[in-house]
Amino acid sequence: SKNFKIYNQSQTDYLEYNQTGKVKGLTNAKIREALNLATDRKTIANSVSEGLDSAATGITPAGLAKTATGGDFAKAAAKATAYAYNIKKAKKLFAEGMKEVGLKKLTLTIEGSSDSTVTKSTLDTLQQSWSELPGLTVKEKLVPFKQRLLDQENHNFDVVLEAWSADYSEPLT
């Protein structure tokens, strides 16, 4: 329909890693970077919204704020981080990180809110792509939103799928 319009929600979904030491592997920066590189954001965006969402390139949502020169802040910030799906580099970094922490195998559980309609497909896609890292087993855990918040507060998680929506049109939000 010509009347169909898409409005940005100014929300970014992201992953939080438990770096308290509870999960030995997640204290290693190379392992965390490998997980980041093994995260296929475009596939996640497509599987969740059938192409209506865009892949996150950083924590600031696209279209939220402008730079001093009028460009999209999210695009400018993405150039600085240059995060992109790269399974070859992810496998190399993951192997290096596992060796550094003395692990041959690692099991990670990704927790998400069962109240959300998009969480399951997001976790399924993450599980599929992360499972390409040799020695990594990925499990999914769906809990009600309130339980997920409690788990985060108490550091009772390995990896959690989180979302944040902007309150106003400024990257600091």
pLDDT in tens, 95-152: 999 999 999 999 999 999 999 888 898 899 899 999 999 999 999 999 999 999 999 9
Structure tokens at 25: 């592997």
| Three-class secondary structure of residue 21 per DSSP | coil
Residue 53 within a domain: yes
Residue 70 CA to residue 156 CA, distance in Å, equals 42
15 compared with 48, residue with greater pLDDT: 15
Residue 6 within a domain: no
Residue 170 CA to residue 53 CA, distance in Å, equals 20
Q: How much is the pLDDT for 52? A: 67
pLDDT at 60 > cutoff 90 = no
68 compared with 161, residue with greater pLDDT: 161
Residue 161 CA to residue 147 CA, distance in Å, equals 13
As for how many domains the chain has, the answer is 1
Residue 171 within a domain: no
Burial of 172 (0-12, 13-18, 19+ CB in 10 A): exposed
CATH value at residue 155? 3.10.105.10
Residue 5 within a domain: no
Confidence of residue 82 (pLDDT cuts 50, 70, 90): low
| Three-class secondary structure of residue 139 per DSSP | strand
Residue 161 within a domain: yes
**53: closest CA among 111, 6, 17?**
6
**141: closest CA among 163, 109, 118, 117?**
109
Q: How much is the pLDDT for 83? A: 72
Q: How much is the pLDDT for 51? A: 66
Mean residue pLDDT of the chain comes to 88
Residue 142: which domain range?
Answer: 11-165
Residue 27 within a domain: yes
Percent over 70 (pLDDT), the chain: 94
Confidence of residue 81 (pLDDT cuts 50, 70, 90): low
Q: How much is the pLDDT for 5? A: 81
| Three-class secondary structure of residue 89 per DSSP | helix
Residue 3 within a domain: no
Residue 31 CA to residue 169 CA, distance in Å, equals 33
DSSP 116: -
